[in-house]
Amino acid sequence: MSTIVDLETSTLRHLNATLHAADSGKFSVVNPRGAHAVAAGINTPIAVTVEGSVGYYCAGMHQAGRVLVQGNASTGLAENIMSGEVRITGSATMSAGATGHGGLLVIEGNSGARCGISMKGVDIVVGGNVGHMSAFMAQAGSLVVLGDAADDLGDSIYEANVFVRGDVASLGADCIEKEMRPDHVATLADLLSAAVMDADPADFRRFGSARQLYNFHVDDIDAEVAAR
């Protein structure tokens, strides 16, 4: 049985304090009405279901357990997620999963601009499309897109992997299409399974760093010495 917290009669502070105090259990959040920072900072293995759409920074700094949003989310969904799982049944706006260090973020609908910006180990699976500059400066982890990707995908990317099933409008600086080796197919299959997404890994292309933007070349040493 779930503990119900009604945001029509309870404050957001009361909700998050209740979740932070719990060591286990299930919680249902009703009447979220676009509230910001819902279920932020959870660090115990609890399960939270939010029945409706949320505002900014839902499930930010998520460290354990599972948050399910039955609706849409605004800017900064699961920002700085460390571990655990965050899932929304609808779509997210800008910067979903930004700076995430670990865990799994699943967006069943579309995601807006800068999805996975500066991701540092989080895995993000998007059932629809992603907006421009997704995976910008992505350092580690994987972004999986079952739909299309808008302009400047993977701009200034480091060592993250981006898998796209649909069309890519354009690639950003230092991002190129790369070979899908068997280990990448296996990784992608595991992510699709974890996200409960029905798709064939063989239909995806992989994108990553050309390793030209952040690497020193010995041929440049004379220019570096002259500049000192």
Q: Are 161 and 179 in contact (CB under 8 A)?
A: no
Residue 106 lies in a domain: no
At 25-45, the pLDDT tens digits run 999 999 999 999 999 999 999
Residue 107 lies in a domain: no
At 123-182, the pLDDT tens digits run 999 999 999 999 999 999 999 999 999 999 999 999 999 999 999 999 999 999 999 999
Q: What is the Cα Rg of the chain in Å?
A: 19
Residues 226 and 173 in one domain: yes
Q: pLDDT-based confidence at 213, cuts 50/70/90?
A: confident
pLDDT at residue 184, as a whole number: 97
Q: Which domain holds residue 200?
A: 129-228
Residue 218 has pLDDT above 80, yes or no: no
Residues 83 and 17 in one domain: yes
How much is the pTM? 0.93
| Number of structural domains the chain divides into | 2
Residue at a domain's end among 64, 90, 116: 90
Residues 19 and 68 in one domain: yes
